[in-house]
Amino acid sequence: MIPDKAPKEDVFLGSEDLKKEAHVPSFDKYKELYIHSVENPGEFWGDVAKDFFWRNKHTGQFLDYNFDVTKGEIFIKCMEGATTNICYNLLDRNVHEKKLADKIAFLWEGNEPGDELTVTYRELLQRVCQFANVLKSQGVKKGDRVSIYMPMVVELVVAMLACARIGAVHSVVFAGFSAESLCERIIDSQCSLLITADGFYRGDKLINLKLLSDEALQKCKDKGFPVKKCIMLKHLSKEPEEIVGSRSPPAKRSCPDLEQKKQTGKAKKTRPVPQGVLHTVSGYMLYTAITFKLVFDYQPDDIYWCTADIGWITGHSYITYGPMALGATSVLFEGLPTYPDVSRMWEIVDKYHVTKFYTAPTAIRLLMKFGNEPVQKYKRKSLKILGTVGEPINPEAWQWYYNVVGEKRCPVVDTFWQTETGGHVLTPLPAATPMKPGSATFPFFGVVPAILNESGEELEGPSEGYLVFKQPWPGMMRTVYGNHQRFETTYFKKFPGYYVTGDGCRRDKDGYYWITGRIDDMLNVSGHLLSTAEVESALVEHKAVAEAAVVSRPHPVKGESLYCFVTLNDGVSYNQTLEAELKKQVREKIGAIATPDYIQNAPGLPKTRSGKIMRRVLRKVACNEKDLGDISTLADSSVVEQLFQNRCCTAV
């Protein structure tokens, strides 16, 4: 479990300045609260819930669950009977009860530098009420599903909250998805209305959403699912009021009983989940709010910026719901980190005096490739806390983030979580947890992790195996929409009594948790289980390498062999000497068993728009199989052709 005392060696400590005002100022305090949260969840979460508006308080015990398939149906009940409205909590409560009416909710920064606007909590409330009326006038009722396909604009938040206000279920489809993907998601969720925009620019590329939406709606019609209503924001022509429409009085808010909110529908990624992940309003609201508050040590004068897209869970939880529940001021950014140049992030940090900054390892590695100068062109004095999410961060990237971006002043919170968990589950608290580069450290309150071996036995002390959770917390998913059986098989069948994350994990001598990557990303070389993430990390430590992705390729003798793709830093060229060096590096870091069989120079890697590498595609390249399946979620499909052209035919 959690050590009695925080380790003092080989760790990075949070800043002393932060400790003075922090909500959780020390490791001892963390430990005390953690034990309380696990032993008395009702009391712990009851205190958190006090700050929110409830139409009805929960009845009966706070938490009830069964994680054991051999004992009957899996269920998670939390705050049964509680009713509330999440939109009321995010807007009305802040405007009317918390006196935050004139506080800025979003500082919107467009794709082009200089394109900007601000919106206060009062203005947002007005716009949400108006738009809720528009939705009602279009016949949208409680329980109806609404598809939202929009760029990162304030109107996207307005649309989401207007849905939540009237009890409709929003399904936000990432605006980088194709017409085919949009159509699929509309039909999957049986949406009665589509909210979209005419288009937007990503860097210098025009994304014609109108065309894509028209095509998607035509496809829906052809498949026998006509969507009659569509509302379009004129974003390109700068007439945002188009979406607002009606000026009638504010919509009456409804208080759906534990209104169920379907997440982003199909999120096709490297892992075979999370489709139709279903969360409940009360639990999701409490959990996103409290994790936001404690993990980013939220203070009222913060300027917070999460660079994720709202179409993904990180944007749902940590742009819309968590920060707004606290009445925070957030930057909402429409553009790209590399447009018009690779300093854009830091320019924005200085422009708005961002204090808390949350991004993904892939973005960090991308920017790291261009060296320190683009970062150091800007001051970044306002920054206090840096966060990362999405995949294991290799220690090298962590160090760069900490040393260069944060100038050794800002703790890095490496937050491990999943669409399914609703919010952070393993994470440092910035003033309390000594950090180790690459480790997500310890569990958040209410979360009880364990590491199991292949036979399902809990491992104690330093160990490596499957990461599971032993009991639920409020933000945990409740089921798979319309398919409870799938929920049981995906997450509970393998190890009765535990929620299985699907991630591999190592616990070190100090009790720190280190995510080693998806279990499906493990490979077995001559009977040795290797984590692709570990090999990638070893490759990336070489100064020539910006990014690496490793997949397995079947091998007649070893079972599986290591096929490595490396993206080199700007200005470095690939040659045999480098190849030999890379092999040596991996051998030295991990062992001879992990020596790469193939190394391919890959100027571009196939990534989803949220930055996850699609290993499925790389496995096909490694085996020279051209049947790639659906690759519509790829950010740039042209890299695939290039990868096939550069294939290695013989082992190195």
Closest separation between CB of residue 264 and ligand WTA, Å?
Answer: 9
Binding mask 6-45 for ligand WTA (x = CB under 6 A): ----------------------------------------
DSSP for 608-636 reads BTTS-B-HHHHHHHHTT-------TTBS-
Look up residue 155 and give its two tokens: 């109107």
Closest separation between CB of residue 602 and ligand WTA, Å?
Answer: 21
Which helix (H) or strand (E) segment holds residue 555: the answer is strand 545-555
Closest separation between CB of residue 391 and ligand WTA, Å?
Answer: 5
Query: Smaller CB distance to ligand WTA: residue 256 or 472?
Result: 472
Closest separation between CB of residue 421 and ligand WTA, Å?
Answer: 8
Taking alpha carbons only, the member of 373, 335, 378, 379 closest to residue 114 is 335
Q: Which stretch binds ligand WTA (CB under 6 A): 97-105, 319-327, 385-393, 600-608?
A: 385-393
Span 413-452, contacts to ligand WTA by CB under 6 A = 414-419, 440
Q: How many CB atoms lie within 10 A of CB 434?
A: 19
Query: Smaller CB distance to ligand WTA: residue 131 or 416?
Result: 416
Phi and psi, residue 471, nearest 5°: -150, 160
Query: Smaller CB distance to ligand WTA: residue 79 or 290?
Result: 290
Considering only residues 315, 387, 390, 596, which one is a binding residue for ligand WTA as defined by CB under 6 A?
390
Query: Smaller CB distance to ligand WTA: residue 312 or 333?
Result: 312
Q: Is 515 in the site for ligand WTA (CB under 6 A)?
A: yes
Q: Is 389 in the site for ligand WTA (CB under 6 A)?
A: yes
Look up residue 636 and give its two tokens: 């740039």
Query: Smaller CB distance to ligand WTA: residue 110 or 606?
Result: 606
- Torsional sign, CA 324, 330, 332, 336: negative
Closest separation between CB of residue 267 and ligand WTA, Å?
Answer: 7
Query: Smaller CB distance to ligand WTA: residue 135 or 613?
Result: 613
Query: Smaller CB distance to ligand WTA: residue 196 or 433?
Result: 433
CA pair distance 128, 124, nearest whole angstrom: 6
Closest separation between CB of residue 419 and ligand WTA, Å?
Answer: 3
Q: Per residue, what are the HEC states of 261-323? A: EECCCCCCCCCCCCCCEEEEHHHHHHHHHHHHHHHCCCCCCCEEEECCCCCCHHHHHHHHHHH
Q: How many CB atoms lie within 10 A of CB 530?
A: 22
Closest separation between CB of residue 36 and ligand WTA, Å?
Answer: 25
Query: Smaller CB distance to ligand WTA: residue 213 or 419?
Result: 419
Q: Which stretch binds ligand WTA (CB under 6 A): 83-91, 388-396, 470-478, 551-559?
A: 388-396
Q: What is the Cα 50 distance to its own chain's centre?
A: 27
Taking alpha carbons only, the member of 543, 552, 549, 541 closest to residue 643 is 549
Strands 329-333 and 104-109, sheet pairing: parallel
Query: Smaller CB distance to ligand WTA: residue 416 or 491?
Result: 416
CA pair distance 267, 162, nearest whole angstrom: 23
Q: Is 392 in the site for ligand WTA (CB under 6 A)?
A: yes
Amino acid present at 163: C
Closest separation between CB of residue 133 and ligand WTA, Å?
Answer: 34
Closest separation between CB of residue 145 and ligand WTA, Å?
Answer: 21
CA pair distance 87, 149, nearest whole angstrom: 20
Taking alpha carbons only, the member of 230, 246, 259 closest to residue 55 is 259
Look up residue 607 and give its two tokens: 């990534």
Query: Smaller CB distance to ligand WTA: residue 337 or 422?
Result: 422
Query: Smaller CB distance to ligand WTA: residue 244 or 450?
Result: 450
Q: Is 506 in the site for ligand WTA (CB under 6 A)?
A: no
Q: Which stretch binds ligand WTA (CB under 6 A): 121-129, 449-457, 499-507, 599-607?
A: 499-507
CA pair distance 145, 276, nearest whole angstrom: 13
Binding mask 188-207 for ligand WTA (x = CB under 6 A): --------------------
Count of residues of this chain found to bind ligand WTA when the rule CB under 6 A is applied: 19
Closest separation between CB of residue 229 and ligand WTA, Å?
Answer: 30
Q: Is 309 in the site for ligand WTA (CB under 6 A)?
A: no
Closest separation between CB of residue 417 and ligand WTA, Å?
Answer: 5
Q: Is 314 in the site for ligand WTA (CB under 6 A)?
A: yes
Cβ within 8 Å of residue 80, ≥6 positions away: 58, 59, 60, 64, 258
Cα–Cα distances in angstroms (integers) from residue 322 to residues 22, 78, 165, 286, 343, in the given order: 18, 19, 16, 8, 28
CA pair distance 476, 9, nearest whole angstrom: 34
Query: Smaller CB distance to ligand WTA: residue 144 or 503?
Result: 503
Query: Smaller CB distance to ligand WTA: residue 244 or 548?
Result: 548
CA pair distance 278, 265, nearest whole angstrom: 10
Look up residue 128 and give its two tokens: 């949400």
Q: Which stretch binds ligand WTA (CB under 6 A): 96-104, 175-183, 386-394, 639-647?
A: 386-394
In the block, which residue shows the tokens 């508006």? 53
Residues in the chain: 652
Considering only residues 253, 518, 542, 615, which one is a binding residue for ligand WTA as defined by CB under 6 A?
518
Q: Is 402 in the site for ligand WTA (CB under 6 A)?
A: no
Span 69-98, contacts to ligand WTA by CB under 6 A = none
Q: Which stretch binds ligand WTA (CB under 6 A): 110-118, 240-248, 283-291, 501-509?
A: 501-509
Cα–Cα distances in angstroms (integers) from residue 540 to residues 62, 381, 537, 625, in the given order: 46, 29, 5, 27
Considering only residues 63, 135, 146, 313, which one is a binding residue for ligand WTA as defined by CB under 6 A?
313
Query: Smaller CB distance to ligand WTA: residue 165 or 612?
Result: 612
CA pair distance 556, 528, nearest whole angstrom: 15
Query: Smaller CB distance to ligand WTA: residue 256 or 322?
Result: 322
Closest separation between CB of residue 469 and ligand WTA, Å?
Answer: 12
Query: Smaller CB distance to ligand WTA: residue 176 or 274?
Result: 274
Q: Is 274 in the site for ligand WTA (CB under 6 A)?
A: yes
Q: What is the DSSP letter of 24?
A: S
Q: Is 213 in the site for ligand WTA (CB under 6 A)?
A: no
CA pair distance 155, 465, nearest whole angstrom: 44
Helices (H), 167-197: 179-188
Grouping H, G, I as helix, E, B as strand and the rest as coil, residue 163 is helix
Q: Which residues bind ligand WTA (CB under 6 A)?
A: 274, 313-314, 389-392, 414-419, 440, 501-503, 515, 518
